[in-house]
Amino acid sequence: MKKEADQRTKPSLNDWNGMSNENANDSGPTLEPSTSDVIALLRRWNLKAFSVLALLADYGGGVSGSESLNIFCRNSTVTDSDLDIYLPAVWEVAQDAIHVLKTSGVRWKNFLSDRIQDVRQYGITVLPYWAIYETVDMLRMQNYSMSKFREYLRKSLLGWDPESPELVKDFVTHLYNACLDVHHDRVKIKDPDDTVSDPDDTLSDPDDTVWVYAAEGSRFSSIPSAISEKINHIFEALEFRHDSHQRFNGRFENESGGDAIRELGGPNSAELKASWEKKGYHHELLQKYMNGRVMKERRQYSRAQVSALVNESLNLEPPSTGKAKITYDSRFRILHGTLPDRRNLQLIFVPTHEGGILHTILKFYASHVMSFISGTMAAHLYYSTAKERLGIIWDFKEDPRQGRAKEAIQKYKGRGWDFYEADRKTVMARHTGDEHVKFISLEDCYTSALREQNANKTLTLPSWWKDYFSEREDSFRSYGWREDCGKINTVQKKKGTRASTRLLGWVHENLAGHEDVVSSKEWKLRNDKRSVLDLWFGGVRIALPIIPRAERYNGHL
């Protein structure tokens, strides 16, 4: 295997320059990828192919993961694979992406649907007070009326639970009333440990207060001090702070990490569970409550880390019910969607300081998945090895974000891939124009569609057309990186001009009526504020537009 690995530095006659679109005679197991493969991929997902590609082109996004790899290496994915779409974490980008994909039938997951599942399974659910408070505050900031908010919740949750319309209707009604109580500061908290409560008592600590919903109705309730004190003790014992990041990761990753975490919980864990269940709440609701609180306060940790931490500290198995799709990851914000045929896709919003999709791809755990489809191109950064179904495994042992890498490697081995570890002694400079890269221009996709739409007519492309595509290819060519000590280090990009954003508008004007383009009527509705709620209840927290105070909704909520 090592001998094969070394051959990537000496291209064979069948290798070809990464910036060329000319096919070479490849006798290997991989057929040459083409532009038609890209369109076919998006059509298989029932997406409006040209609308999606133009979106990716204008905003610097891309499809990556096993689906993009399948363009370059056939049969690299399976039927249950997700479609991963990476985009900058910018509100305008998110709004257009949500709308374009929604027109293809994508339904965005709503974390409240998990609460309804709790009610069906346990007869009750809890929601932290701060979640309701922040939701009301968001609605005010976005000038979104409560009547529209109520209708949005009803339609969204019915989509996920069409067999329980009465349960959904009742849940939405009580949540709506809870939001009104919060808005009008009518929340009165009764400590369940007290037989008498002062009628003037008001909310003192949102972190210790939950909204309780059950079949018989809903109410606000403070968590008994016997519970809140033990929860706080566990948080303090774990020293869950930024300055303990490395110490925590070390204890978390080693073999005795679980024992160390259980010791930190101490006797409080058993007492905490007993106090919680004494209220009539199932222990899985405690797990979810603690997960949500830790994720809110310490977003530098991934969901997997937090879930493992909470489960170990309570000495419990992971919840059996569906996961609430609030993803507080250390790097990304992920909006989960499902197509009518139940296949899943993910909108992965990358913070702008991450440096773009190539920076993200070059942090993947192995070389075989370092491919992407953007709106003007498709590329594989390690095609010379990938076409032989070989993957280079980078040193990811110290990276907590790659916790599922070993599982993924085994998955690809089952699909006929072989792997070897990166050479830790060799330093190798790479760039996006070298012989190991495969590049495909997608410009012809658009011109071919334009010819189809305008048969027997003279085609006229806008004056900015060539510059648009060349700017993006030049941007791609400007990346370089270094393989060093078994890792990819020092990703660099030459400073270039800022590319224009014109293709999305051109596609919906000049390819209107094409089966792979969002209709003009639907395209004009993209500024609908429902996208704000899709993001919010999908668990994605990116900077939303702030409506000036003078323009906000001032009617009765």
Over residues 273-300, the pLDDT tens digits come to 888 888 888 888 888 887 777 776 665 5
Confidence (pLDDT) at 15: 30
What is the reported pLDDT for 302? 59
Please tell me the distance from the alpha carbon of residue 412 to that of residue 386, in angstroms, as a whole number.
12
Average pLDDT over residues 343-363: 87
pLDDT digit string (tens) for 94-140?
999 999 999 888 999 888 888 888 888 888 898 888 888 889 988 88
CB of 137 closer than 8 Å to CB of 233? no
Of 34-43, 186-195, 509-518, 519-528, the one with minimum mean pLDDT is 186-195
User: What's the CA gap between 404 and 394, in Å, rounded?
Assistant: 14
Encode pLDDT of 380-396 as tens digits.
Answer: 999 999 999 999 999 97
CA 367 from chain centre, in angstroms, equals 21
- Check residue 155 and give its pLDDT: 86
Residue 131 corresponds to which tokens in the numbers above? 């979640």
Cα 348–Cα 247–Cα 259 angle in degrees, nearest 5: 95
Mode of pairing for the β-strands spanning 344-350 and 479-484: unpaired
Average pLDDT, the chain: 78
| Across 184-188, average pLDDT | 70
Closest C-alpha to 356, from 55, 61, 64: 61
Neighbours of 386 (CB within 10 A): 26
Cα angle 531, 534, 538; round to 5: 150
- SS3 string of 95-157? HHHHHHHHCCCCEECCCHHHHHHHHHHHCEEEEEHHHHHHHHHHHHHCCCCHHHHHHHHHHHH
- pLDDT at residue 188 is higher than 90: no
Lowest mean pLDDT of 3-7, 175-179, 395-399, 453-457, name the range: 3-7
pLDDT at 267: 59
* Bridge pairing between strands 344-350 and 83-88: parallel
**Which among 134, 223, 118, 219 is positioned nearest to 178, based on CA atoms?**
219
* pTM (two decimals): 0.80
Please give the DSSP secondary-structure letter assigned to residue 360: H
**CA dihedral sign of residues 140, 143, 147, 151:** negative
Arithmetic mean of pLDDT, 470-483: 92
| Averaged pLDDT for residues 164-173 | 88
pLDDT beyond 70 at 251:
no
pLDDT at residue 437, rounded to an integer: 97
**pLDDT score, position 117:** 87
% of the chain exceeding 90 in pLDDT: 32
Token pair of 487 as six digits: 């890792």
Report CA 441 to chain centroid distance, whole Å. Answer: 27
355: left (phi over 0), alpha (psi -120 to 50) or beta: left
Element (H, E) at 289: helix 283-297
pLDDT at residue 214 above 50? Answer: yes
- The stretch 400-427 carries a mean pLDDT of 85
Q: For residue 431, is pLDDT > 60?
A: yes
Q: Is residue 144 within 8 Å of residue 553, measured between CB atoms?
A: yes
Written as one string, the DSSP assignment of 467-479 is HHHHHHHHHHHTE
* 69 touches 369 (CB < 8 A): yes
